[in-house]
Structure 1
Amino acid sequence: MNKASDGVDIAARFEHAMSVVKDAGRVAMDYYRRVDDLVVEYKDNPLDVVSIADKDVEAVIRKLIAGKFPDDGFLGEEMGIDRGKNDCLWVIDPIDGTACFVNKMPTWVISVALMVGDEAVIGLIYEPNGDEFFAACTGQGATVNGKPIQASQVDNVNAGVMGVGMSHRVGSVALVPFMTDLLDREGMFIRNGSCALMMAYAAAGRLIGYFEPHINPWDCMAGIVLMREAGGWCNGFLQALDVLEKGAPILVAGPHVAAVLSEMTGVK
């Protein structure tokens, strides 16, 4: 762990954050059960949506964490960045997969990560519909509902399913060559509408990896910790220039297909 984490009680934050995310999950599910009544707003394109549920869930997470760790900072999809008085920065996506959420599809999650300095040290992804809680903390491995998980051990891209995502912030040329190459190698893919959920699935070995040509940090930060602690590989997302403000490509993979997927995507 880097020097920036010296003196930070990561274990206490890990334990508290797991409770907070579960509480946030109950709030989100209450909204999901009455989704027809929600006011939905649109961002830059018709598929990029936000609801009152997103805003309220993020507010709940911030309030509950700040109540115990008032000096910590926050970066959230809906409420932006609020630098704290120490090196801790909580990175929050209150509902990753909002388009699925508002269209009554269950593939959405709550994603919370903690950065200490420039290192991601806690990753929590909770999928309330299936009641699956993926959790990881630096040096402690990764779990789902308390049971250890491991990244896929397959050694060929046609031996499992690849997760993919796409954003209209980049053109189709950023994804189509990879998809063509994957299919030509007799591989298969899935897109379920939530980057964080697919990264959790990759950490659990259900997918061989996940690729998205451009992604924001709140979508993938928890998944990075999960994948690392599950024995998988991640590209240098955290080393990208101004990554907290601008985002970057993300690629995670099982250890034995990481090299070929890096070559196929051009992501290092």
Structure 2
Amino acid sequence: MGDITSLREAIADLVYDGATVALEGFTHLIPVAAGHEIIRQGRRDLTLVRMTPDIVYDQMIGAECARKLVFSWAGNPGVGSLHRFRDAVQNGWPRPLEIEEHSHAGMANRYVAGASGLPFAVLRGYVGTDLVEQTATIKPITCPFTGEVLTAVPALNPDVGIVHAQRADRAGNVQMWGITGVHKEVVLASRRSLVTVEEIVDELDPRPGAVILPGWAITYVAEVPGGAHPSYAMGYSERDNDYYQAWDAISRDRSAFTEWLSSHIGITA
């Protein structure tokens, strides 16, 4: 496992129409290039899962890849709304989008349950919110030991989990550091996985606080320098704030967005 291949070949093998796909990353190490390749390959009817969907999911929704979004917070970080996401929910363009909303803690615990082979997770995080009434996958549960009423959420086991990292060795072992979010959990929870990396090296040298994903836990590794842009990869690139700002105007207008699809992704919507 942890086979090294190209991004195009990995997406072609892993992502199929109707799949549940998680592209995870929190501010840092977001697998944007992988999302663009999914658009380029014309995948449809996907259930997209992510704790904090930002502009790459906005782009995938606008390109008609998604039928459902499972998420906690969504937005263009530091800028404002995701306008392709809003257009899909409010106006059904380019197609209607079903949503399933959770809290950050709920989503993280769902990944942990999935990675642990458990059917659900239990937490206190939804007390005092109206998400219980709005989301069918949030249920009260009574502790058998104390009688306390808690909240249960089902495990997340995506068909495909995709993350970005700094490095991999030639055996397919991955090393990442900085803000690593739920990278480890989504890879372990998913039935199959892809890690795009900045570079492939002969040997992974020690890094303080680094996380190692062993090759046996990963389906594919693809070398994609700059694959997190416009987010950043600590030690390799900086966040492209201008891109996030520019996306706001592009995403507000359907014509500007379809022109972006043609000029930047190479497809005609």
Structure-1-length-normalised TM-score: 0.26
Which structure is richer in relative contact order (CA contacts within 8 A, separation 6 or more)? 2
Q: Which has the higher helix share?
A: 1
Higher-Rg member (1/2) = 2
Structure-2-length-normalised TM-score: 0.26
